[in-house]
Chain A
Amino acid sequence: MTTTMFKYIIVGMLVAASFASCEKMIEIPAPISETSSERVFSSDKLALSALSGAMSSTTSSQAFAINLTIVNGMAADELLYAANTNYDEVATNTYLPLSAASGTSLINSLWSDIYAAIYRFNSVIEGVTASAALKDSLKTQLIGNAKFMRGLCYFYLVNLYKEVPLVLQTDVNVTSLQPKNTTAEIYTQIIADLTAAKEVLPADFTSQSGSRTVITKWAASALLARVYLYTAQWQLAKDEATNVIDNNAGLFSIGTLSNISVKNNTEAILQFGSYLSATSGYTYMGLALAASYTQYTITDTLRHSFDAADLRAQQWYRTLDYFNVITYQPYKYQNNTTGTTRLEAPTVLRLAEQYLIRSEASLHLQLTDAARTDLNIVRVRAGLGASTSTDAATLALELESERQHELFCEYGHRWFDLRRTGRINAVLGGLKSTWTAKAAYFPLPQTAINANPNLVQNPDYN
């Protein structure tokens, strides 16, 4: 009897043991919405999808959809939040890393959005590089696109926060504890990425039937021109801008004022084909355009600084009555209704800026006439007379004013310009009683510092 019993027990245990030892009993498939990274980079189509995912999630992120424009706009002297006092911290430049108010969290989200984008482009670069299955021509294209975008991301990071960790890979054990790099190191990397991209990116928009959402070598050149300008490499800035302005095989020309946001207008060098514009023609870049009110209004300072003859003052913002208060709504993007035939796309790089870059570079290279010529191209279109100034200092001021009026509410040019030209304390100090010099760079998000013992806060914010 006992032996029988033991036999059953042993059989039972074996049954149970085979249950548990069988790995297959707990094998599960990947979720229906996911596919393994290995597989992604072994198929041309999926690899292109990975790039597309990185692009679309970046362009539709809050940072690129709206925050870069409004945060920089409020921190400078372009914009005010009219709805309530939530973002006062940004407008009064009193952001502090420890603040729990919504203004600071707006600033913090720029950091996480942009680094999330960088992770995706790094992931594409790593996946493509490691892949043995993809065609070389495709690999170069994918890497070129990703490097351009990584350069663009770091351009914003270095200008928002100054020194930031230069994350170029996805290994979390390394990246999560990286300390800051110097601005020089960051700019070197940006230039390396953009130069490499410029070598391989296409020279036209034919791959998408003319859609300017394709990243071309001209876009790389245009962004390089801006980076050289910011790093005071005047000749290189001038060369790159010239490359875009003069050697573009007829792709780009200065268009009409009202059309600068229209999809595929001739002035656009790069537009983001985000889902926002693809379906409704509506875009956040219009800063929550509403029929009857605005949440963001152009500051009196900006409004009053326009020359009476300046057509941009008539076309690029409009007057609204907001509960009996008059507000001035940015109107570079004009679609606020769905179903319209006017399709707009967030415009990242456009030709007018290249003229202004070349003008400024020329000025620094003592080529005053060339500087004036380029400046006048922008002025004349705006209905202002051609400048006749010959004096470099006057031209420099005219140029500053021109950049302010031409590029307002486009990803924060004004904020960056004031700082890089050393005018920030004079200009903003004169406008805002709460201005302090440390406010020129935003504080790093406290959560990032809390999570990384090697990351130190920007000076003066401790």
Chain B
Amino acid sequence: MKLTVILLTVAFLQVQAAGFSQRITFTGKHLPLKQIFDAVEKQTGYVAFYNRDVLQTATPVSISVQDMSLANFLDLVLAREPVTYLIEGKTIYLSKKEFKETPTEIPIPRIDITGVVKNKAGELLPGASVRVIGLGGTTTTPKGTFSIGSVSEGMILQFSMVGFAPIEVVIKRTGDDWNAFPLISNYIRNVIVTKNNGLQLTIILETAISNLNEIVINKGYYTESQKLSTGSTASVDAKTIEKQPVTNVLQALQGRMAGMTIVQSNGFPGSAFTVQVRGVNSMLQNSQPLYIVDGVPFLSDAINAQTGYVINGANGATSPLNSISPSDIESIEVLKDGDATAIYGSRGANGVILITTKKGRIGKTQLDITVNTGMSRVPHMLNTLRTPEYLALRKQGFTNSGLTATVNNAPDLKTWDSTAYTDFQKLLIGNTAKATDANISLSGGDARTNFLLSGTFHHESTVYYMDKFYRRGSMNVSINHRSLDQKLSVGFSAMYLADNNTLALQDLTTLAYQLSPNFPLYNRDGSLYFNTYFSNPLGVMSVTNRNKSSNLNSSLNIRYNLLPGLDLKVMGGFGRADMDQAQLTPRAAQDPTSTTAVSRAAFAYSYTNNYIVEPQISYERALGKGKLSALVGGSWQYRKSRQPYYTIANNFTSDDFIENISSAATVSTYSSSTDYKFVSILGRVNYVYKDRYILNGIFRRDGSSRFGPNNRFGNFGAVGAAWIFSDEKFMAAQHSWLSFGKLRGSFGITGSDNIGNYQYLDSYSSTTYNYNGYTGLVPSRIANSDYKWEQTQKIEIAMELGFLKDRIRFTPAYYNNQTGNQLVSYTISTQSGFASYQANLPAKVQNSGLEFTLNTSNIQKKNFSWTSNFNISFNRNKLKSFPNIKKTSYYSTYVVGNPISSIYTYKYAGYDSTTGLPKVEDLDKNGTISFGLYPLGLGDRYFFGTQYPKYTGGFSNTITYKQFTLDFMFQFVKQIGTDILSNSLYPPGYIYNLSEDALAKYLADGPPDQRNVRANYSTAVGNYMSSDRIRVDASFIRLKNVAFSYELPIRMARQMHITAARIYVQGQNLLTFTSYKGYDPESQGLTLPPLRTFTAGLKLSL
């Protein structure tokens, strides 16, 4: 620690010395150096110190500068002198420079360049960045002009602006004439030289969308142009997100990125999502990627799941990304391969998702107002049996099972009204949920300072019949400032969101489907009816489940340009997420005759504070015929999670006092804490040679508190290379059709510390129970101090191709990821006292696959355009090796060579003509049907396939005609699913209702006399339910999103004194083409499916 303090002090002292904002304004011709240093002393107070002989060989200098920093001034003055300097304190030490060759007599010719930057429509662009690569730069004036001095031949100027494709221009000299050429020949029309003498340029920037070649991509610690990137990333921008009526941004990403599988687990707001980037690497089956919001790592597990006890409502674990309003997001980048993810080292194995929030825009202050309203419904219901058919089936079941129906085992036949019928699907989940959204944002600024203020509000109700809602409000602030000399820039952004989720405790879809159609909701006296087979849905609904959460995410970025090309950056971030929960179960919601029917309440509060500091030095310069960039940085993160209380209170004096803990007869309170610290150093070196050959190297060393004291640190890294072969001379002839061609590859090692905290800690935990007067302590876990980092080796080879002036862009990629040293919760026989402990497995899991992305600009006319994006990904997962598996607890569950999430099922073998029940094959011919795996010789279940999709993808289109824009997007998934029939282990004829489709399928597999309809559990039917007969194709093609909008013509808008106006209608999950016969092939089973949503809205810019 001391060392750090000293070094930091040293570092800051250095910064202060060099960065002392001493400016020099100086003009003179043929002046001796001594005279110049005298002037420096006068203007800055810095004294030059040197031996007499040092300046003897110096030549007089002509120079003219205005308000230049001391260091730059000295660099310029001494550039061609045999003298070098060092600044310490307020002293400039001069010494002789060691020359390796004689300095050229002729000074290098230099030129001042001026010009303007415009967009394609000819409008001037203020605030565009103009940089000399390796030396730094400026921004365009409010009139779009720029001037840059002292440029020599071969230097590269880069023009860039948010939303536009950057253009790089190389400066050439022929005699007295100067010229400028774009580095990429496609831009030849975008660089217009208006005057050769004293070079004057007009640069025309094109919007990034129309020129995918030059998108600048965010890679977290650095950015680079897509063209020069050696790694694999995918991105989605605000435009795509805002077209979709979603509450969680992950919904807007479904089907839009190659290599990314996103599955929504249910249709509730706040529902959890399973996100996989290129498959599942870990045998823990945990594929959570790392989320980074504006540089600050974001929680990937629910806020309330960070520590202590978790209260979950119907939506399951709340996705923390629900705490970011989609309208606040500028862009999302997904880093996939080793090259892109290695900069995140130990946490990059499962991919990295970078979320950038909106920032202020340069230009006139603009007020944007968006309001929309919409409604959602369950897309389709299932055709469950009506009362007469249902009761007939039940009677048949009792006959076939040889049982007598009694009031106990058949209340539906004996007690309930046999003529009653309730359509429980319609009642419980058949309503229309309404949603309202409003967003207001104010943004503006100039080249030096800009800001954004935005607020959003969202309210939605549910498809339930009771008044439950989800409500969210958020605020986003972003301020950026640059000093006059452009050296210091400071950016601050903060996002705060608060929501209130009062959704039901329990998903009612199961009840809606399974309740007997004649189930009485009420007793004759009007009170709720209860029995042991079903919970009364009205009782369930009267349980209050209330989650209030808030989330603050803020980051401060300070960047200082120390020397030309050398930047010092510090990022500090603070985040706080909390969740306040209450679950109230009044006595009235429960069976009054049950002893456990007392009013109960659970209250919990959890919060997580996240601190991060990341210093970084980056350096960029021209080197030889290329460009070198390097960065070195450090990172320290501290996540502090607390659950101050989790209180269960029982037996309140009355339901009226259910929130008053002191009215409860028994109260127990628990509290818990979890700390997590993470420290790293990281570095990157990138060299671009002749703009065609790129080499990228990344290193990171991470330490994590999740590991035992002996194994805390791990090393990670990657090497990537790319070759833009289309820029080679020999390809010039092909440019008519092949406009761009790049071959890239990378190899990297990343890791994962996605495991629980404290697993190495040998400790006892306190319990609230006591025995003989002593409060209890129990062993917390089987501690293991020896487990080590899991490592994923990633290999990728890809091509990036552009055809016909990039109107067609095609990117095929192949990857192979191997994860070894698997860090798992190692299953052990319960005889050891615990079911598992943290340990490494020698197993290797491989994910390999192909990804294809195709972007086409089909029609590009003045009034009509049509662009399409298509992506498809194939991932194959397998357990590549597992030495000595036979000696581990995994010997019976995994087969080497098969996917880690394999489907093993019995082989359906028709029905038994004597019993009328379904049969499954005794594959191992041992006379009994046993559950073990046939490929391992342990039983009769064979390998049927995998739960992972075979391929996934999406196809999106944007069609613009004059002021109208139509977007539509199809998502498709090829996968195996489970028939809805198997949602009950009991055969049809048992008390659960089911759909006509499910019943028909079941009856078709039995004898004509339907003896397989039974009123009780049967092993034969149980086996059938785990057989290949219930595995069905759950593939689907979904019209995921349609958005239609009309933009007011600019002329009309001006007349109305507004900048722009747009009205739109949007739809989500509109149509699904599938042979799956349940609610939804994505969520499957008996959960509330993703809802079909329509919204209409208006966006006004003032």
Residues of chain A touching chain B, judged by Cβ–Cβ distance below 8 Å, are: 1, 3-5, 7-9, 11-38, 40, 45-46, 48-57, 59-60, 82-85, 88-89, 96, 98-101, 111-112, 115-116, 118-120, 122-123, 164-165, 167, 170, 172, 175-178, 207-208, 211, 213-214, 273-275, 279-280, 282, 288-293, 295, 322-325, 336, 338-339, 445-453, 455, 462
Contacts and interface: CB of A to CB of B under 8 A. Distances in A.
Contact of A40 (B562, B764, B1019): B764
B890 to A, nearest CB: 8
Contacts of B682: 16
A83 B10 CA distance: 76
Nearest to A17: B681
8 contacts: A5-B566, A15-B7, A22-B679, A31-B757, A32-B673, A50-B777, A88-B1016, A292-B593
A49 B775 contact: yes
B408 A83 contact: yes
Given A30-B758, A175-B833, A323-B415, 12 more contacts: A12-B11, A19-B4, A22-B679, A34-B765, A37-B764, A85-B409, A115-B832, A116-B830, A170-B833, A323-B407, A339-B665, A453-B887
Contacts of A21: 3
Given A22-B1, A172-B832, A36 B617 contact: no
Nearest to A452: B829
Interface in B402-432: 406-409, 411, 415
Nearest to B784: A172
Contacts of A56: 767, 769-771, 776
Interface in B626-651: 630, 632-636, 651
Interface stretch (B203-211, B698-706, B1000-1008): B698-706
Given A12-B632, A50-B764, A57 B769 contact: yes
- The 6 lowest CB-CB distance pairs between A and B, nearest first, are A119-B833, A53-B776, A451-B889, A56-B769, A452-B829, A52-B774
B680 interface: yes
Contacts of A11: 7, 10-11, 14
B1022 A101 contact: yes
Contacts of B367: none
B1071 interface: no
Contact of B408 (A84, A279, A292): A84
B971 interface: no
A100 B1022 contact: yes
B392 interface: no
Contact of B18 (A4, A89, A177, A288): A4
Nearest to B835: A112
Contacts of A325: 406-408
Given A99-B1019, A447-B830, A46 B712 contact: no
Given A208-B773, A325-B407, A172 B837 contact: yes
Contacts, number: 331
B780 interface: yes
A98 B941 CA distance: 12
A121 to B, nearest CB: 10
Given A22-B4, A25-B636, A119 B779 contact: yes
B764 A100 contact: no
Nearest to A48: B774
B533 interface: yes
A36 B774 contact: no
Interface in B873-924: 886-889, 891-893
Interface residues of B, number: 113
A338 B828 contact: no
Contacts of A462: 930
B185 to A, nearest CB: 34
B672 interface: yes
Contacts of A89: 1017
B831 A178 contact: yes
A5 B563 contact: yes
Of B4, B84, B675, B779, chain A has the most CB atoms within 10 Å of the CB of B779
B292 interface: no
Nearest to B408: A325
Contacts of A446: 931
A213 B772 contact: yes
Nearest to B3: A18
B775 A8 contact: no
A99 B566 contact: no
Contacts of A455: 829, 831
A279 B768 CA distance: 13
Contacts of B779: 37, 119-120, 123, 170
Contacts of B780: 34
Contact of B829 (A59, A83, A176): A176
A167 B1016 contact: no
B834 A119 contact: yes
Given A24-B1, A50-B777, A275 B769 contact: yes
